[in-house]
């Protein structure tokens, strides 16, 4: 099979340790170029990984080489402008979560990508976890019946990242945009992706730029972005989301709080025939009139690797990805609804 020429745009720590690694491991991929504003870093990464081309702007890259696909791992607010330029050249697009920060901007991009027959995939890694796949299979078989309630949360005690994540102009938001997008997407997907009807939300910078001793946090590799250490986003958010099928989702997200923390995404699904929890994975249902709890056995997988392989497969086969641009738009619409509700201190209703 002919190799796919891919460029990696944005060479942060995660992009280098995951996206780049799995792209280079794929037998049908050639990493043709990497792009980053930090010229010293981009040269260093290119030399280390034997990548032929390195650029500091996407325009320079598009005018120099021919590509089949791009992986966009830049700050959230830059996703769509970059994606639009790629789509205008007929290049397939993988965008790290969230799809963007502005709904109208995303809507315009999706029009362009569809007109150019460009495939868009959004990086929602947790959909590719083995335990999540098991729950999804149960849900698709209607084991849970009508899922009328879900609770999803990921709360950390002291885990606020440093760098561009806390600058709203670059990130579009704080904990909700960073980790909340994963939790919201996962719960919504397992519920069957119902249409949002209304949202009541609250976001707040509760602890802000804390100076707690003896704790560490993740920091962006790009020291130039948010060099002034701006902190104008939330570190805690909660929401009550109603869907048009009557189901409800309760969402809690925290980068930092004074309480017990979750070791991973926690999801509880309640249906009229059965239910499930993550993590750990458990299935609840009646058998012969008796309520039974089961814990399916499985080998864990590398969700990042499966995600990248899925994207390449979709490029090769021209198939629809597990999470496309339209789904990314719907998730962003709910996130923006949470922020709007918090700002206006009222319930936000949607027309479907």
Kindly state whether residues 131 and 265 are assigned to the same domain: yes
Kindly state whether residues 82 and 212 are assigned to the same domain: no
Question: pLDDT band at residue 216, thresholds of 50, 70 and 90?
Answer: confident
pLDDT at 222 over 80: no
Kindly state whether residues 35 and 141 are assigned to the same domain: no
pLDDT at 268 over 70: yes
pLDDT at 225 over 90: no
Q: How many CB atoms lie within 10 A of CB 162?
A: 15
Kindly state whether residues 138 and 232 are assigned to the same domain: yes
Kindly state whether residues 119 and 148 are assigned to the same domain: no
Kindly state whether residues 69 and 202 are assigned to the same domain: no
327-343: average pLDDT: 98
Kindly state whether residues 212 and 269 are assigned to the same domain: yes
pLDDT digit string (tens) for 103-131? Answer: 999 999 999 999 999 999 999 999 999 99
Kindly state whether residues 256 and 149 are assigned to the same domain: yes
Which element (helix H / strand E) includes 199? strand 196-204
pLDDT at 62 over 70: yes
Kindly state whether residues 251 and 297 are assigned to the same domain: yes
Kindly state whether residues 142 and 34 are assigned to the same domain: no
Kindly state whether residues 44 and 99 are assigned to the same domain: yes
Domain count, the chain: 2
pLDDT at 221 over 70: no
Mean pLDDT of the chain: 95
Residues 6+ apart with CB under 8 A from 288: none
Contact (Cβ atoms closer than 8 angstroms) between residue 194 and residue 243: yes
237-264: average pLDDT: 97
248-265: average pLDDT: 96
CATH assignment of the domain containing 163:
3.30.360.10
pLDDT at 224 over 90: no
pLDDT at 189 over 80: yes
Compute the 3-state secondary structure of the chain and give helix, strand, coil in percent, each to the nearest 5.
35, 25, 40
Give the SS3 label for residue 232.
Answer: coil
Share of the chain above pLDDT 70, in %: 97
| Domain residue limits at 283 | 127-301+332-349
The whole-angstrom separation of Cα 39 and Cα 45 is 10
Kindly state whether residues 119 and 264 are assigned to the same domain: no
pLDDT given for residue 145 in this prediction: 98
Share of the chain above pLDDT 90, in %: 91
Which of 151, 147, 187, 139 has the alpha carbon at shortest distance from 272? Answer: 147
pLDDT digit string (tens) for 142-159? Answer: 999 999 999 999 999 999
Question: pLDDT band at residue 13, thresholds of 50, 70 and 90?
Answer: confident
CATH assignment of the domain containing 93:
3.40.50.720
53-55 and 147-155 as β-strands: parallel, antiparallel, unpaired?
A: unpaired
pLDDT at 223 over 70: no
Q: How many CB atoms lie within 10 A of CB 55?
A: 21
283-299: average pLDDT: 97
pLDDT given for residue 162 in this prediction: 86
pLDDT at 294 over 80: yes
pLDDT at 299 over 70: yes
pLDDT given for residue 19 in this prediction: 97
pLDDT given for residue 227 in this prediction: 63
């Amino acid at each position: 099979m002919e190799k796919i020429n891919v460029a990696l745009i944005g060479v942060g720590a995660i992009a280098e340790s995951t996206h780049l690694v799995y792209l280079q491991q794929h037998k049908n991929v050639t990493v043709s170029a990497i792009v980053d504003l930090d010229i010293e870093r981009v040269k260093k990464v290119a030399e280390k990984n034997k990548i032929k081309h390195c650029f500091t702007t996407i325009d320079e890259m598009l005018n120099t080489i021919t590509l089949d696909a791009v992986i966009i791992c830049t700050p959230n607010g830059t996703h769509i402008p970059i994606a639009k330029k790629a789509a205008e050249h007929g290049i397939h697009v993988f965008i790290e979560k969230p799809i963007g920060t502005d709904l109208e901007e995303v809507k315009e991009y999706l029009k362009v990508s569809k007109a150019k027959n460009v495939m868009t995939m959004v990086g929602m890694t947790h959909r590719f976890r083995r335990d999540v796949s098991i729950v999804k299979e149960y849900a698709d078989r209607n084991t849970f019946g009508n899922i009328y309630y879900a609770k999803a949360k990921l709360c950390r005690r002291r885990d606020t990242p440093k760098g561009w994540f806390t600058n709203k102009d670059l990130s579009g938001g704080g904990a909700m945009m960073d980790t909340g997008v994963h939790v919201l997407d996962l719960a919504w997907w397992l519920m069957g992706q119902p249409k949002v009807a209304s949202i009541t939300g609250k976001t707040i910078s509760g602890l802000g730029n804390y100076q707690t001793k003896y704790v560490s946090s993740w920091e962006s590799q790009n020291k130039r972005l948010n060099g002034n250490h701006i902190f104008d986003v939330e570190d805690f958010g909660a929401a009550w989301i109603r869907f048009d099928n009557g189901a409800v989702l309760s969402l809690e997200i925290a980068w930092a709080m004074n309480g017990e923390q979750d070791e991973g995404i926690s999801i509880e699904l309640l249906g009229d025939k059965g239910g499930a929890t993550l993590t750990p994975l458990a299935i609840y249902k009646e058998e012969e009139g008796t309520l039974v709890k089961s814990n399916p056995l499985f080998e864990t997988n590398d969700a990042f690797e499966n995600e990248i392989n899925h994207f390449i497969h979709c490029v090769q086969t021209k198939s629809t990805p597990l999470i496309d641009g339209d789904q990314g738009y719907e998730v962003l619409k709910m996130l923006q609804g949470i922020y709007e509700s918090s700002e206006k201190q009222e319930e936000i209703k949607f027309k479907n």
